[in-house]
Amino acid sequence: MANCDAIAQVAVPAPFHHLFDYLLPTAEPPPCVGGRVLVPFGKRRVVGLVTGLTNETPIERRRLRAIETVLDTRPVLPEELLKLLLWASRYYHYPIGECLATALPSLLRRGRPAEPALERVWRIAPAGQTIAANALRRRAPRQARLLEILQQSARPIGCAELTDSNGDWRGALERLAARGWIAASDRPVYALRRSHTRTAAPTLNLAQSKAVRAITAALNNFQALLLEGVTGSGKTEVYLAAIEAVLAAGRQTLLLVPEIGLTPQLVARFTSRLDAPLAVLHSGLSDTERLEAWHAAGNGAAPIVIGTRSAVFAPLARPGLIVVDEEHDTSLKQQDGFRYSARDLAVVRARRLNIPIVLGSATPSLETLYNVRRGRYRQLRLPQRAGGAATPEFRIFDVRGKPLREGLSQPLQQRLQTHLDAGRQALLLLNRRGFAPTLLCHECGWIALCHRCDARLIYHHPGKRVRCHHCNYDRPVPAHCPHCAGPDLRPLGLGTQRVEAALRLAFPSAGLLRIDRDSTRGKGAFEARMAAAQRGEAQILLGTQMLAKGHHLPEVTLVAIIDADQGLFGSDFRAPERFAQLLIQVAGRAGRAAHLGEVVIQTHHPEHPLLQILIHRGYKDFAEVALKEREQAHLPPFSAMALLRAEAHEADTPHVFLAQAKASAQPAPGITMLGPVPAPMERRAGRYRAQLLLQTAHRDELQALLRNWVPRLAELEQARRVRWSVDVDPLET
Ligand code: ADP
Ligand code: ZN
Ligand code: ZN
């Protein structure tokens, strides 16, 4: 053994904030840091990950247990990634073993071999190079064809590739091999994406070229760059050009996108433009596919890795650049378990790797803009829409006292007709799925409520059902009011299904696609609907915020927000920021190609300052005002927050636990502890929820408090009676 360390520090997949010490096995090869081991843990056997080797332990040696099996002699997690995860575990105060479990593909967690699976591939042998395929053609046409293919191919070809287009050629391959004309070898399976057709890059405009130069100039250093540009301003083209430079330097790019942004179109755009294979990581992969993509990233077979949130933990053999697209998108933050922000961790990772990171957005988060202001991030702007498309025009339709047909005002219907007559598409946003958010008894005023949540049941028209959107409770609409037995139960308020019905009546000859979570449940259903929209199969697209994100719909010239009031009066301090982002994003869908677009906003509050500033002065000015307000109120990004949440079946228990937790903390003078207070929706899925908010101007103080406090929470008397969790930098308070 090269070193004489006798103890391995192991992270086990269990809710503990510390590592466990194990003796090294005597008979096995020694474990390595970053490699997996099988260890006894309580009465179980678990797959743990070695994070360090040492000779020191506070525990009596004879009480230590030994590693049972060493699963890896080489690390599955490179040192850089292991350290990042250790850092993240400390920063988010989440058990290290469970952080590691989030990062590792499930097959590796379950102890599968860390080597990629192999497939048989064939290439031409020296003896086969000069054989004339034609001479074989009559006697053995298949062998002739194969010989030809392999003679012309620069790289080995797999059975699957051959079989696909040419039938089953296994027998012919064997015979050619027996003659010594071709040779077989085994190659790892990676499931990489690559395209054989190339599309040409457009000539970049001045702002784009400047942005690309700024990124490529930073390739050997850490630098965080905000690439700010409206939808259609050509951000993706900037990424592509920067990635070319990274490829030329022989290094890898990691591109993170929001869940909904990772579409086949995006992947196709990247593969057709870049002469390099691409690994894709997202939640819809099978375990095997995920492992293959992970290997391809980790050993460098994939020069480009595109993925959603958890891809921030993809291993990279030769990291060169990280890009986070739509950096403001909340789906980049995990909202349960290990509550990390993939954007923030990507920045941390880039700094540790000493490589640049590009954060792209039309509507950057206030956190990121604040970092720009403090000089931590450099800002790059794409001020215009690429390809000359004009910025859409905003119109506010004051609907006070006006007749509305299922939420649609007369003027909106007229605009819609005008755009349809011109042969264009219209996109209507209503951020509420279902038919109506309330079912009311006209006799007595009874309202259908969820018995497990503090929420109304949503009326869904197909099948006449009421559903809870928080706990998935679902039942048929009662025939009579359960309170007064009256028969007159009425849907109240607007959902997408209701507006859909109204639109079909008002515009019977226009094709309509409703796009919300209900209409896109099946795998690929969202994609299929968006593709149909792109092909022009529908003129009216109606949907929830899903529609606001990322798709190129060149024929859309009218965007309408049916009910802006919904977004103007949120309770969370981030509600204005979210509304502004949604408005600007959805407005960006209008008029992307040659035609001028218009954005209609229906509201009962036309003078609302948030609306006024957004449509007259734009997102940038909005952000400045919003930052000022946050500063005055000592809210993030001018302070740091953490939230301790607790829930239980009894109403009091979470409060008692949180009060105990609060009493057990020793906060520095600068830290305020607010609560315990009920959560915004106190009862959900039958559990009562409460929270304690920690806030301070000094992140370090908060971290110091949490470091001491969180590991001891489990020992509180009430801890076993609640489910609790810590959320550092929470997005919802
Ligand atoms: P974003 O990512 O900011 O939404 P894209 O990069 O997708 O913008 O560009 C929007 C559209 O404009 C795409 O169809 C793209 O091919 C085109 N485009 C981008 N840059 C240019 C350019 N410099 N010249 C011509 N077309 C461009
Ligand atoms: Zn009633
Ligand atoms: Zn419910």
Mutual angle of helices 342-353 and 79-92, in 10-degree steps: 140
Residue ranges for the known binding site for Zn(2+) are 441, 444, 450, 453, 468, 471, 481, 484
CB of 585 sitting under 6 A from ligand 1: no
pLDDT confidence band for 166 (50 / 70 / 90):
low
In a domain, 468, yes or no: yes
**Rounded to whole angstroms, how far apart are CA atoms 490 and 446?**
10
pTM for the whole structure = 0.90
The alpha carbon of 580 and the centre of ligand 3 are apart by a number of angstroms equal to 29
Question: Is the pLDDT reported for residue 127 higher than 70?
Answer: yes
Question: Is the pLDDT reported for residue 165 higher than 70?
Answer: no
In a domain, 733, yes or no: no
- Let me know whether 481 and 504 are in one domain: no
Q: Which atom of ligand 1 is nearest to the CA of 208?
A: 23
In a domain, 714, yes or no: yes
**Rounded to whole angstroms, how far apart are CA atoms 439 and 491?**
5
CB of 235 sitting under 6 A from ligand 1: yes
In the predicted model, what is the mean pLDDT of the chain?
91
- Let me know whether 459 and 567 are in one domain: no
- Let me know whether 95 and 159 are in one domain: no
Q: Which atom of ligand 1 is nearest to the CA of 203?
A: 23
In a domain, 198, yes or no: no
pLDDT in tens, 703-730: 999 999 999 999 999 999 999 999 999 9
The alpha carbon of 492 and the centre of ligand 3 are apart by a number of angstroms equal to 18
Q: Which ligand is nearest to the CA of 454?
A: 3
- Let me know whether 279 and 357 are in one domain: yes
Distances in whole angstroms, Cα of residue 415 to Cα of each of 438, 482, 721 = 29, 43, 57
Q: What's the CATH code of the domain at 618?
A: 3.40.50.300
Question: Is the pLDDT reported for residue 682 higher than 70?
Answer: yes
The alpha carbon of 489 and the centre of ligand 2 are apart by a number of angstroms equal to 8
CB of 385 sitting under 6 A from ligand 1: no
Q: Which of 225-229, 260-264, 416-420 has the lowest mean pLDDT?
A: 260-264
- Let me know whether 303 and 249 are in one domain: yes
Mutate to test the pocket of ligand 1, among 237, 323, 619 (most ligand atoms within 8 A of CB): 237
In a domain, 193, yes or no: no
Single residue among 110, 142, 161 that ends a domain in this structure? 110
How many domains are contained in the chain? Answer: 6
**Rounded to whole angstroms, how far apart are CA atoms 717 and 720?**
7
Domain hosting residue 707, numbered range: 640-728
Backbone dihedral region for residue 434 (phi beyond 0: left; psi -120 to 50: alpha; all else: beta) = left
- Let me know whether 618 and 713 are in one domain: no
Assigned token pair, 62: 């004879």
Assigned token pair, 546: 């899903």
Does residue 121 contact residue 154 with C-beta atoms inside 8 Å? no
- Let me know whether 411 and 498 are in one domain: yes
Single residue among 159, 188, 217 that ends a domain in this structure? 188
pLDDT for the residue 1: 41
**Rounded to whole angstroms, how far apart are CA atoms 401 and 398?**
9
- Let me know whether 232 and 273 are in one domain: yes
- Let me know whether 402 and 365 are in one domain: no
- Let me know whether 566 and 711 are in one domain: no
- Let me know whether 288 and 335 are in one domain: yes
Q: What's the CATH code of the domain at 715?
A: 3.30.70.2690
The alpha carbon of 210 and the centre of ligand 1 are apart by a number of angstroms equal to 15
pLDDT in tens, 327-350: 999 999 999 999 999 999 999 999
377-382 sheet: strands from edge to edge: 278-281, 304-307, 252-256, 319-325, 356-361, 223-229, 377-382
For 339-438, where are the alpha helices, taking DSSP H only? Answer: 342-353, 366-373, 410-421
pLDDT in tens, 1-20: 444 678 999 999 998 889 99
pLDDT in tens, 253-284: 999 999 878 888 889 999 999 989 999 999 88
- Torsion angle of the four alpha carbons 207, 209, 211, 214, in this order, in degrees rounded to the nearest 10: -140
CB of 391 sitting under 6 A from ligand 1: no
In a domain, 195, yes or no: no
pLDDT in tens, 102-112: 899 999 999 88
In a domain, 161, yes or no: yes
CB of 233 sitting under 6 A from ligand 1: yes
Radius of gyration of the chain (CA): 29
pLDDT for the residue 2: 42
- Let me know whether 32 and 98 are in one domain: yes
CB of 237 sitting under 6 A from ligand 1: yes
Single residue among 110, 143, 162 that ends a domain in this structure? 110
In a domain, 97, yes or no: yes
